Amino acid sequence: QQPVQSPQAVILREGEDAVINCSSSKALYSVHWYRQKHGEAPVFLMILLKGGEQKGHDKISASFNEKKQQSSLYLTASQLSYSGTYFCGTHNSDQTGANNLFFGTGTRLTVIP
Amino acid sequence: DSGVTQTPKHLITATGQRVTLRCSPRSGDLSVYWYQQSLDQGLQFLIQYYNGEERAKGNILERFSAQQFPDLHSELNLSSLELGDSALYFCASSAGRFYNSPLHFGNGTRLTVT
């Protein structure tokens, strides 16, 4: 039930773009994205619900392809503050009645000057 | 500040012992979730409560148990502790119980079993 994230790690220079992918072997109702900085709690970024929507949050946006059972997080013109580990959390279609998210193993993003 | 409070921040105990981790959700949130994060690992879902009732179970060991009280705070009890139980335990809360509610995480309790 755990989604698969790729890449596992990425290093960017300030201003560069990155894409983080999240895929599931099961049909999805929703995908959540969170960022966790070292030693801190994960922080909510956005939720995408089935229907193929796309969302944006400053220069961070995401898409959800329900048919492919995958989501992608796009970070454009990266800033130093974007460094951290990004987790996708998925809610599968057989989990009706509950909101227990299964998180991927994370993508460690490092932005350097 | 997420509004979710976890205590204690750190806990050091010996193998075989029992500990209780406490979580107070954000004001108004009815759902509480517990996650375990081992060193440099992802977030493993343990259990979810909604308004006092267990809603979903994940990879929670039989040695672990949890409950949510009428005031909505939750406790996670870990017993017969083993070295492998050393991890960061996060509590999260959300307003609803379905998939469209964002989770708000507390700062975690770091458990070290020696």
For A63, the 3-state DSSP assignment is strand
CB contact A4 to B (< 8 Å): no
Which comes out higher in pLDDT, residue A58 or B107? B107
Query: What are the pLDDT digits (tens) for B44-95?
Result: 999 999 999 998 888 899 999 999 999 999 999 999 999 999 999 999 999 8
The pair of three-digit structure tokens given for residue B46, joined into one six-digit string: 């343990």
Least CB-CB distance to B107: which of A2, A41, A91? A41
Task: For residue B101, give the DSSP letter.
Answer: S
Instruction: Please name which of A96, A111, A108, A109 lies closest in space to residue A30, comparing C-alpha atoms.
Output: A96
Q: How confident is the model at residue B40 (pLDDT cuts 50, 70, 90)?
A: low
Query: Any idea which of A6-10, A18-22, B98-102 has the lowest mean pLDDT?
Result: B98-102
Q: In chain B, whose CA is at the least distance from the CA of A94?
A: B99
Q: How confident is the model at residue A97 (pLDDT cuts 50, 70, 90)?
A: low
- The reported pLDDT for the residue numbered A55 is 67
CB contact B103 to A (< 8 Å): yes
Task: Calculate the alpha carbon distances from B57 to A59, A67, B49, B83 in Å.
Answer: 35, 27, 9, 23
The shortest C-alpha distance from B84 to chain A (Å) reads 18
Q: How confident is the model at residue A93 (pLDDT cuts 50, 70, 90)?
A: low
Strand partners, A65: A70
Q: How far apart are CA B112 and CA A99, in angstroms?
A: 29
Q: How many CA atoms lie within 13 A of B23 on its CB side?
A: 33
Residue A106 has pLDDT above 80, yes or no: yes
- pLDDT above 70 coverage of chain A, percent: 87
The shortest C-alpha distance from A111 to chain B (Å) reads 19
Residue A94 has pLDDT above 80, yes or no: no
CB contact B1 to A (< 8 Å): no
Residue A34 has pLDDT above 70, yes or no: yes
Q: How confident is the model at residue B97 (pLDDT cuts 50, 70, 90)?
A: low
Please identify among residues 89-108 of chain A the ones whose CB lies closer than 8 Å to any CB of chain B.
89, 91, 95, 97-106
For residue A28, the Cα-to-chain-centroid distance in whole angstroms is 14
Instruction: Please name which of B17, B32, B28, B3 lies closest in space to residue B112, comparing C-alpha atoms.
Output: B17
Average of per-residue pLDDT across A62-66:
88
Residues of B in contact with A99 (CB under 8 A): 31, 33, 48, 55-56, 94, 96-99, 101, 103
Residue A95 has pLDDT above 60, yes or no: no
- pLDDT above 90 coverage of chain A, percent: 58
* Partner-chain contact A99 B108, CB within 8 Å: no
CB contact A49 to B (< 8 Å): yes
Task: Calculate the alpha carbon distances from A20 to A72, B45, B52, B58, B93 in Å.
Answer: 6, 22, 36, 25, 26
